[in-house]
Amino acid sequence: GDSVTQTEGLVTLTEGLPVMLNCTYQSTYSPFLFWYVQHLNEAPKLLLKSFTDNKRPEHQGFHATLHKSSSSFHLQKSSAQLSDSALYYCALSDGTGGYKVVFGSGTRLLVSP
């Protein structure tokens, strides 16, 4: 079945340093990949979504590139801000294999001054 793996449970870094959160997936078909962000006491909300034409999605300084060869969709940002501290989930939606949305276990990002 479909699955998403996020290897880091917690990432801590200093403001201004680059961010990279890992995401790999397994799917029989060609899924859509997503990043969702959840701030404290809020619901998860969409941050980024992969494009079918391989364009690189960007939002709020974050970007992610879908690499089908390595089944990865890592989240990156050139310079972390304090407000980026949150829980980040990678997810996939497989339109041909079952339609459900599967989430990874999440990575908590803590940015300190």
CA-closest candidate to residue 104, choices 34, 15, 6: 6
Answer yes or no whether residue 100 interacts with other proteins by CB under 8 A: yes
Residue 12 interacting with other proteins (CB under 8 A): no
In this complex, which beta carbon is closest to other proteins, that of residue 70 or of residue 99? 99
Number of amino acids touching other proteins (CB under 8 A): 24
Which region, judged by CB under 8 A, interacts with other proteins, from 17-25, 41-49, 69-77, 78-86?
41-49
Residue given tokens 């990002």 in the structure block: 109
Q: Which stretch binds other proteins (CB under 8 A): 15-23, 35-43, 57-65, 66-74?
A: 35-43
One-letter amino acid of 68: K
Alpha-carbon distance 22 to 5, whole Å?
Answer: 8
CB of 63 to other proteins, least distance (A): 18
Residue 91 contacts other proteins per CB under 8 A = yes
Task: Tell whether residue 58 is a contact of other proteins (CB under 8 A).
Answer: no
Nearest one of 102, 89, 108 to 48, comparing CA atoms: 89
42 touching other proteins, by CB under 8 A: yes
Q: In 3-state terms, what secondary structure has residue 38?
A: strand
Q: Give residue for tokens 């404290």.
A: 40
